[in-house]
Amino acid sequence: MTSIEPDQDVSPASRAARAAGCAFLSLAVWMGIAYLLIQLRDCQSEGFQCLGDALGIMFLCLLGAMATMWPLLRLVRVRPAWPVALAGPGVLALLAFGWLVRGFLNSPQLWVVAVMVAYAVGAVLVDRAVAARVRWIVLGVLVALVVAQLVAWTVGRIGA
């Protein structure tokens, strides 16, 4: 087995579930670190400087979570892990762009769900055991969601 062939012992559904679980674990650890760093900062109503620091810490921890996905995916036998680790943020960008335009991701819980879904969908998109037609359909649905969100947002802005 080469490093770019999927592990034959793991089904595509199991790969997607494992990728989502890894995303949850990675986010939980890194957001916990972010929370501790923000608490150590001990801002007491200092205005926007504390908010900027908190957002910066959270952004860096999100990057840390993405960087640690590859070893986590390898640990739980999602192979090849690197395409899933790269596809997850790409799918998240598509999902978040459409949802952010509409304002759906205003809570951290929805962000966690979005990241988990993104890595699960990314695992399906790069799995060669999944039929190419299914992968194209999944990609088409993602693009259709983004287009639908943009159209709904545009129509809402024009009508307002």
Query: What is d(CA 19, CA 23) in angstroms, rounded to the nearest whole number?
Result: 6
Owning domain of residue 93: 12-159
- Please, is 6 exposed, middle or buried when counting C-beta atoms within 10 Å of its C-beta (0-12, 13-18, 19+)? buried
Note whether 119 and 65 are within 8 A (CB).
Answer: no
Query: What local confidence, expressed as pLDDT, does residue 1 receive?
Result: 44
Query: What local confidence, expressed as pLDDT, does residue 57 receive?
Result: 76
Query: What is d(CA 136, CA 133) in angstroms, rounded to the nearest whole number?
Result: 5
Query: What is d(CA 112, CA 95) in angstroms, rounded to the nearest whole number?
Result: 12
Per the rule left: phi > 0, alpha: psi between -120 and 50, beta: everything else, 44 is: beta
Nearest to 126 by CA among 95, 73, 86: 86
Question: pTM for this one?
Answer: 0.75
Q: How many domains does the chain have?
A: 1
Q: Report if residue 98 sits inside a domain.
A: yes
Q: Report if residue 7 sits inside a domain.
A: no
Please state, as a whole number, how many other Cβ atoms lie within 10 Å of the Cβ of residue 27.
24
Q: Report if residue 146 sits inside a domain.
A: yes
Q: Report if residue 34 sits inside a domain.
A: yes
Query: What local confidence, expressed as pLDDT, does residue 4 receive?
Result: 47
Q: Report if residue 136 sits inside a domain.
A: yes
Q: Report if residue 5 sits inside a domain.
A: no
Q: Report if residue 1 sits inside a domain.
A: no
> Which parts of 9-107 fold into alpha helices (H)?
12-41, 48-67, 69-75, 81-102
Query: What local confidence, expressed as pLDDT, does residue 55 receive?
Result: 72
Q: Report if residue 44 sits inside a domain.
A: yes
User: In the block, which residue shows the tokens 């070893």?
Assistant: 71
User: In the block, which residue shows the tokens 């793991």?
Assistant: 10
Nearest to 94 by CA among 63, 70, 117: 117
Q: For each successive 10 residues of the chain (160 residues), what is the average pLDDT?
A: 53 88 88 79 65 73 83 86 87 74 63 84 87 90 82 72
